Amino acid sequence: MGKVVSLGRGERADAKARTGLGWLLGARLLLAGLSLGLAATLDRIEAPEYGSGIEGVYWTVVAAFLATIASALMVARTRNPTRFATVQVAIDVLIVTALVYFSGGRESVFTFLYALVILYGALFLDRNGVVLSAGLGAAGYGFVLFGVEVGWLPSVGGPSGTRPLPVLGAYWGFYAGALLVLGMLANTLSAELRRTGAALDRSTTDLRRLRDLHLRTVESIESGLLTTDEDGHVTSFNPEAERITGTKVRDALGRRLEELIPGAQAILETADANPSDGGPVGRERISYRNARGEELFLGMASSSLRDEGGDQVGHVVIFQDVTSVVSMERELRQSERLAAVGEMAARMAHEIRNPLASISGSVQVLQGDGGQEDPDPERARLMGIVLREVDRLNHLISDFLRYSRPAPLKMEPVPLAGLVEEIAEMSESRCDADFEVSLGLDRTVVVMADPSQLRAVIWNLWNNASEAMAEWHGERRLSARVLRIPGDATQGAGTAGRNDPCEGSAPAPTTGETAVLEIEDSGPGIEFEVQARIFEPFFTTKRDGTGLGLATVQRIVEQHGGAIEVSSQPGEGTLFRMCLRCVGSIP
């Protein structure tokens, strides 16, 4: 038994097999229709010669239509397309045999239908199935041919006459061989057609995959990508190009590139005028305002788009939004200039200290005048002003040098709570202002820090809080807290709802925890516009301040790998929160 040749697997193969069965039943309909037309023609022209056999032809055609209808109803339910197709070819051979018998036997005009059945059977069956169908056709024709001649079957129509059996045998053998050769030739051509179709399917699938990969690559690339024709009109536009330009692909296609991105055409012309070994390539950076009104900088490169013959047919343009890069470059150049200015200023400040010392010493000598009091009070007052301002200027220079040239860190484990407690006691003995102090200290917290510099940081923060409440007429309360937070926590206790500076400070790998110091006062608070500049060098709201205290604090904290922030509401107090690496604990 033959089998249906399928070109796929699973559901796809089953769908193709059922489609093939549909074509098979369609071929039977065509055969039945052709037989009906031929029978009607014979009935009209040669009815006396066929006698009652013409009725058998009609009934055979009717049987062919009924068999087709029944088979069509069974196609959807069949579980074995191979067996079903073989049965259908066998039914077709039986129908043709009946037509040949009823229309005159060896002289029947329907004998060519055997060839048709073998031909379309070869399209759906393999080589074994074709041999089977050719054998069935030969057997059916031989049964009619010999059965009528030897009297096994009654002659029901068509011309009568007898021939020797050897002649009939030769006639039948020739016809059977012709059917077999026809079937094998048709099967070979069909197999070649199937192989070609399968190869075409594979090529189509590979081409579809390649196309999809190309589309996904172009759509996924994180750069704007477009192509133009020779006249500079946009022919393709990827999603990133849409995002950067703010222009939809439907609005971009067909537009001139110069209209879409002013200045881009000049890059293309430059690339064409200066070809490189690898083909024309132009790279440039241009300013650009997109469709949303955003001011951007685009880094753009272009190259030639060539056809399969190597002829240029357009350009490929790739571009990125480099606005952030341009901004960083500007900030870097500004930082370099500021660093150079700062270095020069530090040297100048260092050189100024020597003349200041000389001025101060000279004024003190003049002021003393051999141990006698100056008889001129105005002269004494002016000398006092000079000395005071010299001291102030010397203090400012010292702060500036401390900020610009921080001392090397001498790191060691430091109990953070002990430093806070020490500074609180020192402040209590020196401060005249009356305010309530509360401490919440986790005495087990240990940080890796320079003790002297960390002490200066805490003292500066504590002193600022004390000064803020010195002239405050509301509630006076100063609190300090030392606590630890896990490495995966983003909000510390006591500061719910505030921004968390500790998120950017890396905890120590030994503990995975962060030490937090909070110093909070209930003073007048800080205005919002002042908070944004509070850590800037030389920015101060104090009458006698230098503006370097908090800037130095921030720099020292960052040197220690930590972070600091300020949070304040005008009239509700101020909180400074510092985060450092926690390296262990005191048992």
Q: Which of 326-340, 457-471, 512-526 has the lowest mean pLDDT?
A: 326-340
Residues, the chain: 587
Give me the half-sphere count of Cα atoms (radius 13 Å) on the Cβ side of residue 18. Answer: 14
Question: What pLDDT is recorded for position 56?
Answer: 74
Q: Identify any residues that bridge with 126 across adjacent strands, giving them in sequence order.
A: none
Among 55-64, 186-195, 285-294, 532-541, name the most confident range.
285-294
pLDDT over 50 at 492, yes or no: no
Confidence band (pLDDT; 50, 70, 90) for 493?
very low
Q: Span 366-376, mean pLDDT? A: 61
Confidence band (pLDDT; 50, 70, 90) for 577?
very high
Q: Which of 147-161, 533-547, 550-564 has the lowest mean pLDDT?
A: 147-161
Q: Identify any residues that bridge with 311 across adjacent strands, giving them in sequence order.
A: none
In 10 A of CB 292, how many CB atoms? Answer: 9
Between residues 469 and 516, which one has the greater pLDDT?
516
Q: Which of 5-19, 249-263, 318-332 has the lowest mean pLDDT?
A: 5-19
Assigned fold of 221-321: Beta-Lactamase (3.30.450)
Contacts of the segment 245-250: beta carbons below 8 A, 24+ positions apart: 245/290, 245/291, 246/290, 246/291, 246/292, 246/294, 247/290, 247/291
Question: What pLDDT is recorded for position 578?
Answer: 92
Percent of the chain residues topping a pLDDT of 90: 3
Q: Span 366-389, mean pLDDT? A: 68
pLDDT over 60 at 285, yes or no: yes
Neighbour-count burial for 355-371, b at 16+ CB within 10 Å, e otherwise: eeeebbeebeeebeeee
Q: At what angle do helices 451-470 and 416-430 cross, to 10 degrees?
A: 40
Question: What pLDDT is recorded for position 347?
Answer: 67
Confidence band (pLDDT; 50, 70, 90) for 506?
very low
Indicate the average pLDDT of the chain.
76
Q: Span 119-134, mean pLDDT? A: 74
Question: What pLDDT is recorded for position 305?
Answer: 85
Percent of the chain residues topping a pLDDT of 70: 74
Among 37-41, 499-503, 555-559, name the most confident range.
555-559
DSSP 296: E
Question: What pLDDT is recorded for position 509?
Answer: 44
* CA 50 to mean position of chain CA atoms: 78
User: Which residues have CB under 8 Å from 300's CB, separation 6+?
Assistant: 261, 264, 267, 282, 283, 284, 285, 286, 317, 318, 319
Task: Give the C-alpha separation, 548 to 394, whole Å.
Answer: 14
Between residues 481 and 80, which one has the greater pLDDT?
481
Yes or no: say if 562 and 579 are a contact pair by the CB < 8 Å rule.
yes
Q: Which of 140-144, 398-402, 494-498 has the lowest mean pLDDT?
A: 494-498
Rg (CA), the chain: 51
Question: What pLDDT is recorded for position 517?
Answer: 92
Question: ∠ CA(6), CA(11), CA(17), 5° rounding?
Answer: 35
CA distances from 66 to 28, 69, 72, 390 (A): 11, 5, 10, 122
Three-state secondary-structure class, residue 522: coil
Q: Identify any residues that bridge with 519 across adjacent strands, giving them in sequence order.
A: 480, 576
Question: What pLDDT is recorded for position 516?
Answer: 92
Yes or no: say if 514 and 485 are a contact pair by the CB < 8 Å rule.
yes
Place of tokens 């229309």: 103
**Nearest-10 Cα torsion for 203, 206, 212, 216:** -150
Q: Dig out the tokens for 436 from the structure.
A: 């309530």
Question: What pLDDT is recorded for position 575?
Answer: 92
pTM of the model: 0.42
Question: What pLDDT is recorded for position 556?
Answer: 86
DSSP 496: T
Question: What pLDDT is recorded for position 508?
Answer: 45
Structural domain spans, the chain: 10-201, 221-321, 327-404, 412-585
CA distances from 487 to 225, 353, 482, 563 (A): 42, 46, 16, 14
* pLDDT tens digits, 200-232: 888 888 888 888 887 777 777 888 888 898 888
Q: Which of 60-74, 158-172, 224-238 has the lowest mean pLDDT?
A: 158-172
pLDDT over 70 at 47, yes or no: no
The reply to whether CATH 3.40.109.10 applies to domain 412-585 is no
Between residues 374 and 550, which one has the greater pLDDT?
550
Question: What pLDDT is recorded for position 494?
Answer: 41
Q: Dig out the tokens for 84 from the structure.
A: 């079903």
CA distances from 136 to 26, 27, 93, 131, 143 (A): 21, 18, 7, 9, 10
Task: Give the C-alpha separation, 480 to 420, whole Å.
Answer: 8
Between residues 159 and 114, which one has the greater pLDDT?
114
Question: What pLDDT is recorded for position 387?
Answer: 76
Question: What pLDDT is recorded for position 78?
Answer: 74
Q: Span 10-30, mean pLDDT? A: 65
Q: Span 376-387, mean pLDDT? A: 75
Question: What pLDDT is recorded for position 372?
Answer: 56
281-289: strand order across its sheet: 234-237, 224-229, 312-321, 295-306, 281-289
Q: Which of 247-261, 336-350, 486-500 has the lowest mean pLDDT?
A: 486-500
Question: What pLDDT is recorded for position 6?
Answer: 40
Between residues 246 and 387, which one has the greater pLDDT?
246
Yes or no: say if 502 and 579 are a contact pair by the CB < 8 Å rule.
yes
Residue 98: Cβ-neighbour burial (10 angstroms; 0-12, 13-18, 19+) = buried
* pLDDT tens digits, 510-548: 456 889 999 998 888 888 888 888 888 777 777 666 677
Task: Give the C-alpha separation, 482 to 479, whole Å.
Answer: 10
